Amino acid sequence: MPLWSRGHQALVGLDIGSSCIKAVQLERIRNRYRMVECGMAGIRPETIVDGVIMDADAVSSTIRQLLDKHGILIKNVACSVSGHSVIIKKIKIPKMKKAELRKGIMWEAEQHVPYAIEDVNIDFQILKEAGPGEQEMDVLLVAVKKETLNAYLAAITAAGLTTAVVDVDAFAIENSFTMLRQLQPDEVVALVNIGAALTNINILDGGISDFTRDSSFGGNRHTESLQKSLGLTFEQAEAIKKGESVQGFSVADAKHTIEMATSELAEEIRRSFDFYYSMGEKKAIHRMVLSGGCALLRDLVPALSGALGLSVEIAHPFQHIATDPKKFNAQQLAQIAPQMTVAVGLALREPRDDA
């Protein structure tokens, strides 16, 4: 469900994250997709904080360098936002036609959005039409602060690009997952995207989003803990977190600190799941799919699986996308796949693919 879109011919999925920017260009051939280009470029810490752009020039420059490096010539992009500036709520409203709801959505939003209605962009999707004899229908309401959104649009424009679609990270991940994999009708899956600064949680029931939450807990917690406990620089902490030894310290020295941070992460995810279950009669979550850069941490999957009592797997958004082995190294794609999930979900957007 894009938050906002307009007609376009072709686009690039552009994931502007807090630690790196990712780009994916796909081509649809009948019912299959082919990888045209993909890549990522790191950005300095504090460039983006809690989903808010702090250094627009750095973001624009990195976007331009990334696209130039990979020869991406498409000017239309799909981007996404997340964090505290985004409000997602599943609401019940009186039965009405979509056209009527579009006219009255601002009034409905005023009842649920904790910001002045003139300060946000609003969109919605009807999740479940009212059945015979029912007087209400389920609607997913999305609002994002204009200040945050405009900063992303301005940075993209400054890079010489046009924003064709604006989405939300949680829904881009859902788009990647549901379009590339078959789900059982009664299956409940938790999509958990662990980025550097934020964790996006989207619980799907039968392929339909039933709960979303963004948490200010990400892989940076592991990095910060390593900096404090071992007296490392940011760069050293990042390296040892990824399994590389640094001067004076081995991976074994970092093991306890990483395990403690992972336990905190598991508890944060558990709180979200508990809140989900508290919202009424909910079916048990069957499995969890991890994406984001933090998903690549060594031993994270068994640790979360054990702590949460769930089957946990790593997202592989390239699994059903055709790639040229002469151009793309399969092993390298598998290594970066979890980090590219949002960008793939954005690149999968179709012309006039709206709510």
CATH number for position 217 = 3.30.420.40
Same domain as 188, residue 175: no
Question: H-helix or E-strand containing 318?
Answer: none
**3-state class (DSSP) for residue 69:** helix
Give residue for tokens 């068994």: 302
Q: Distance (Å, rounded) from C-alpha 207 to C-alpha 204?
A: 5
Phi, psi of 5 (to 5 degrees): -155, 165
Same domain as 201, residue 241: yes
Same domain as 188, residue 262: yes
Domain assignment of residue 130, yes or no: no
Domain assignment of residue 151, yes or no: yes
Mean pLDDT by 10 residues, the chain (355 residues): 57 95 93 93 91 94 98 95 90 86 87 91 84 84 94 97 94 87 81 94 91 92 95 93 90 94 97 94 94 92 97 92 92 93 92 47
Same domain as 298, residue 235: yes
Nearest to 173 by CA among 265, 290, 23: 290
Q: Which amino acid is at 127?
A: L
Phi, psi of 300 (to 5 degrees): -70, -40
Same domain as 259, residue 333: no
101 contact partners, CB below 8 Å, separation of at least 6: 93, 108, 124, 126, 139
Q: For residue 253, what are the CA distances in angstroms to 224, 236, 237, 245, 246?
A: 15, 13, 11, 9, 10
Structure-block tokens of residue 128 = 């479940």
Same domain as 326, residue 310: no
Same domain as 275, residue 354: no
Task: Look at the chain and report how many structural domains it folds into.
Answer: 2
Using CA atoms of 39, 43, 45, 47 in order, give the dihedral in degrees to the nearest 10: -120
Same domain as 154, residue 54: yes
Question: H-helix or E-strand containing 4?
Answer: strand 4-5
Strand partners, 40: 22
CA 85 from centre of chain: 14
Same domain as 271, residue 287: yes
Same domain as 339, residue 299: no
Which residue segment(s) compose the domain that 233 sits in?
Answer: 182-315
Phi, psi of 329 (to 5 degrees): -80, 120
Structure-block tokens of residue 240 = 């040892």
Same domain as 159, residue 277: no
Residue-wise pLDDT for 233-254, tens only, equals 999 999 999 889 888 899 999 9
**3-state class (DSSP) for residue 249:** strand
